Structure 1
Amino acid sequence: MTRWSGVTGAERVHVVRALLARPLLHRRGVHTRTVEMARTHQTELQAWFEHHLGWQLRVERDRVRLFKAPGNVRRQGSDAPTARQCALFCLVLAVLEDCGAQTVISELAEKIEVVSRTHPSLRRFDATVSRERRDLVLMVRLLCRLRVLVSTLDTVVTQEDEQDYIRGIGDALYDVDHRTAALMLSTSVSPSLTTGPQELLIATGTDRMISEGRALHHAVMRRLVDDPVVYFDDLPSDQREYFLGHMQELIQALRAGLGARVEVRAEGAAIVDEELTDLEFPKTSAASFAALVLAERLFHEVVDAPDRTGWIGTTRLLELSSEVAADLAKTMTTINQKPVDGEHTWQAAAPILIGLDLICEVPGGILIRPALARFRDPSGRGPRTEKPGLMLFGLDDLQTSPTDDPTLEEPSDDILT
């Protein structure tokens, strides 16, 4: 496709980035100018998303909706909703069809309760349970951020009302944007007509009719724009072969369309961009801090090893966790409500490191993934807690680039926002 450049190209890149970060944009609020740009460049943007990702883009006067399907359903951020919350999110959208121009949380709860009772495959919603009310409020707030529901009162007052509902002593009132609600479903097939979850990942009806090569192009590009790091070993063999055989085309498309830096190494590829793909460590618990400190120890363990295989055995892993625990015990007495020792420190830190795809469990120990190097501290003052301005794969002497092609240099300034 034609390379974007100049002011026109910068505007298109701005819209692409905005939609990848937030697939539903509304004219009201901070996205007013972005929606206007999307309308101006509608044809070119629709062609770019369809050609490279197989995703449909709908541009309306007040809304822009990118109907995207994930390339990798395993990835979840630390703040991802639980399975129960996701179910409630979908149920709220379903019952909103029967609501008028306004609704209150208690009405939504009543309707969800009825639906869950009449469908035996659904777990029953019980509005008398505080946990259930809290999860419902969290999903209502998410729908407010998406502007499906709009607070009719002052924000502070509405939040107080939501807390009153959780406590069982109040309610909260919202306007319903039925048009935005109708745009939430991003599959071409109704969920009730599918035989399983995998069918919901088909973004458009044309996916079944495109060539095998185009389908591979879409699959690889979806992984690249969704995941912080794409490791070649994680890709199916056909996708891995396609990436290696079409690397220049893929990287040029990413850099031109996203205005982002792309790093390619022997192990895989990553878009190095804090707004689009970077994930931060969670910072709200002793477990998250333990994971961050342990990440630093694990990195240096690999760097200092003669073979640098990235494998650390169970015995050594417990020793490193015990060293971390000894440091943590100076400032905290418990971790996940358990004593701060090596075993409990590892049990608390492991899910976070695995969830961020920085390590993976293998027989007899763990395998360090290259992206863990991004959280090291070259100064020796301790692990990084913010998004570092480093290459995601870390040290040059640990990983080597599979190509010296000059076309993989930094993009020109004329396509950056």
Structure 2
Amino acid sequence: MSVITDTSFADAVRALLRRPLLDRSSPAWSAIVTNRTALIEYFEENCGWTLHVDIRLGLARLHKRCAPDATRPLNRVGDKPNNPMRPDGYAVLMLTAADLVTRPVTTIGSLADNLAAASLTDPTLPPFDTGVAAHRRQLVDAIAWFVTHNLLEVTAGNLDDYQDRTGDAVLVADPTRFGRLLSSSTPPSRLQSDDDWIAALAHEPRYDAVTEGRADAEAENRYARHTIGRQLLDDPALLTDDLDEIQARYLTQGGGFAALRRAVGRAGLELEANSDCMVAVDETTESTDRTFGRSADTVTQVAVAIIDLLCPNRVGTTAAIADVTELVAMLLAEDPGWAVAYQNDGGARRLTDRALQLLAGFGLVRFDDNNNPTDVTATPVAGRFVTTVNDCRHDTAPTNEENKL
């Protein structure tokens, strides 16, 4: 089936980029079904991603593949921005999914008991105790995430009642949809017990010839097209310094850059490129569930102030994290009624750390050492977010000299 309209196709691409698991309740469902053949070809050609559209089940799943990135954690469900799930929460999320696949109709209480039993028998799992409020919250967070993505339905009871230990709730899962969650070239059942199973699940054999240095020109071009397309469509920006030799050659020879611009344009995005970076700009913000600078929360406000510090004249520089912390401490001291949660000992450092992690998640800063950083550097794209102050105090029309500026 051909693309009915360019707008319809672009709407479907952006919807799948934002939420790679969609059903018929999505406003974009009709566009996805109409353009499904072209969408499957588009994502395979430009990103090496597989798209499944099951009209009977009313389900579309885009299997994104990307490198692990600790700066972009899974956010807990809720209205609060920049609220990442704790590391133990991921284990609870996975254990919950595994239990629901085998027992799709259950209660939270029964599910919690199974998680507690699993944590006692497997020393590699974090502890889970139904008597600990934080552990119950992790389970509620996991269930809420599955409910939000239409994988699970609460048919009776209330999640908050379980959190408060005042009640229970009945859960009904869709095993077919859970089965579509995992994106891997290797089924888990084929992994050996001594494998690094995360690396094994993430491995993509189709690029082995490239990484092993035995690929022909066609395989190299496919690798470059896919990896660059993934970064531009799914990441905030692509820095030219991060390009490997094969990727750089693809963009400068044989029409690679022109093909990239066409692919970005078909998604309804605009490609901005200079010598330092490339950005796929989405004026609609429909392709992402996270935007920088549009929230008025404390962490975002401080992050913007840090960009102003690191980007004098919109040019990125390097600063010691200790100096950044001093700036944040000064902001806190200037207004004791602001950011009350951080108006205590160590508050400036905690707020600095959260703001820097937010910036790193959007590719706006990088650290000298990811494990124990002491310096932070603004990336070339950070200059886009420098604060601009317009002086509107002129009471008279600008002079001819001013008009020349």
TM-score range, shorter chain: 0.7 to 0.9
After superposition, the Cα gap between the structure-2 partners of 1:65 and 1:333, relative to the gap in structure 1 and judged at 3 Å, is closer
Q: How does 1:30-179 map to 2 (within 5 A)?
A: 30-31=26-27, 34-61=28-55, 62-71=58-67, 73-76=69-72, 78-100=82-104, 102-153=105-156, 161-179=158-176
TM-score (norm 2): 0.77
1:324 paired with 2:331, answer yes
What residue number does 2:403 align with? none
After superposition, the Cα gap between the structure-2 partners of 1:376 and 1:183, relative to the gap in structure 1 and judged at 3 Å, is same
Q: Contact 1:229 / 1:270 at 8 angstroms: preserved in 2?
A: yes
In structure 2, runs of 5+ residues without a counterpart are 74-81, 210-217, 392-405
Q: Deviations over 1:203-226 (max 9, x none)?
A: 6x6555882321222111111111
TM-score (norm 1): 0.75
Displacement of 1:347 after TM fit? 5.0
**SS in structure 2 of the partner of residue 128 of structure 1:** coil
Q: Contact 2:71 / 2:358 at 8 angstroms: preserved in 1?
A: no
Query: In structure 1, what is the Cα distance between the partners aligned to 2:176 and 2:346?
Result: 52
Q: Contact 2:16 / 2:287 at 8 angstroms: preserved in 1?
A: no
Q: Contact 2:15 / 2:286 at 8 angstroms: preserved in 1?
A: no
**SS in structure 1 of the partner of residue 102 of structure 2:** coil
What residue number does 1:405 align with? none
Displacement of 1:380 after TM fit? 4.9
Query: In structure 2, what is the Cα distance between the partners aligned to 1:368 and 1:40?
Result: 42
Query: In structure 2, what is the Cα distance between the partners aligned to 1:118 and 1:334?
Result: 39
What residue number does 2:231 align with? 223
After superposition, the Cα gap between the structure-2 partners of 1:250 and 1:71, relative to the gap in structure 1 and judged at 3 Å, is farther
1:289 paired with 2:301, answer yes
After superposition, the Cα gap between the structure-2 partners of 1:345 and 1:131, relative to the gap in structure 1 and judged at 3 Å, is closer
1:354 paired with 2:363, answer no
Query: In structure 1, what is the Cα distance between the partners aligned to 2:374 and 2:175?
Result: 54
Displacement of 1:330 after TM fit? 6.2
Q: Deviations over 1:205-260 (max 9, x none)?
A: 6555882321222111111111111112233343344344422211211112x111
Give the % identical residues. Answer: 25
The counterpart of 1:338, out of the listed 334, 338, 345, is 345
What residue number does 1:254 align with? 264
Displacement of 1:322 after TM fit? 5.3
**SS in structure 2 of the partner of residue 228 of structure 1:** coil
After superposition, the Cα gap between the structure-2 partners of 1:309 and 1:297, relative to the gap in structure 1 and judged at 3 Å, is closer
1:264 paired with 2:273, answer yes
Displacement of 1:283 after TM fit? 5.1
Displacement of 1:344 after TM fit? 6.8
Displacement of 1:290 after TM fit? 2.7
After superposition, the Cα gap between the structure-2 partners of 1:177 and 1:138, relative to the gap in structure 1 and judged at 3 Å, is same
**SS in structure 1 of the partner of residue 118 of structure 2:** helix
Q: Which runs of 4+ in 1 moved over 6 A?
A: none
After superposition, the Cα gap between the structure-2 partners of 1:83 and 1:320, relative to the gap in structure 1 and judged at 3 Å, is closer
Q: Contact 2:310 / 2:316 at 8 angstroms: preserved in 1?
A: no
After superposition, the Cα gap between the structure-2 partners of 1:17 and 1:345, relative to the gap in structure 1 and judged at 3 Å, is closer
Aligned-CA RMSD value: 3.2
Displacement of 1:379 after TM fit? 2.4
After superposition, the Cα gap between the structure-2 partners of 1:142 and 1:35, relative to the gap in structure 1 and judged at 3 Å, is same
Query: In structure 2, what is the Cα distance between the partners aligned to 1:124 and 1:316?
Result: 39
